[in-house]
Amino acid sequence: MIKLLNLLKEIKYTKPNFDIEWEEAIRYPELKKMGKEEWKKIANQGYIIKYSKIKDVLGNIDLNFNKLEEPKKDRFNKSFYQNKVEIPIAVKFNDQDYDLLAGNTRLSGLINKGIDPSIWIVEI
C-alpha cells in the first residue's frame, strides 16, 4: 500500500494531443465551425484545474470505471503505473457549464484510484 501511495504522488500529466482530440472536438458545433487550426490555437491556451473544483458542473462523464471498455481500462492502467497520464480535456462554456471533451477513462480511472485529477480546460 505504501508503494501505491508513493506512486500516486508521482503521477505526471502529459499535455493533450489536440490534433488527435480534434475528432472529439467536432462533436461540438461551436468547435467544428471554428476549424481544426483555430481549435488547436484556443486549446493550447488552456489551463489546468482540479476535478473537485468543477465536478458539480462537469457534464458528459461516466465515472463507473469498472463498466468501461476493457482495452481503454488496460491503456489507462499501463499509463498510470508508468506515472504518465495524458490530462483529460474539458470545454468551458461558462462558470456553470463544463463538458468533458476527452479522457473519460483517464478521469474515471484516476478518481477510482483516489486521486483528484487535473483537467485541461479550454474556454469557448
- Residue 2 pLDDT exceeds 50: no
Q: Do 35 and 101 meet the contact criterion of CB atoms below 8 Å apart?
A: no
CATH of the domain at 45: 3.90.1530
The pLDDT tens digits for 16-72 are: 999 999 999 999 999 999 999 999 999 999 999 999 999 999 999 999 999 999 999
Which pLDDT tens digit goes with each residue over 46-56?
999 999 999 99
Half-sphere exposure of 115 (CA within 13 A, CB side): 23
Grid look-up 463507473 returns 64
Span between the terminal Cα atoms of the chain, in Å: 41
pLDDT band at 4 (very low <50, low <70, confident <90, very high): low
3-state secondary structure of 121: strand
Q: Which residue has the cell 477513462?
A: 105
The residue segments making up the domain with residue 20 are 2-123
Please, where are the H alpha helices in 82-121? 104-112
Helix extents (H) in the chain: 2-9, 18-25, 29-34, 36-44, 51-54, 70-81, 104-112
Domains: count for the chain: 1
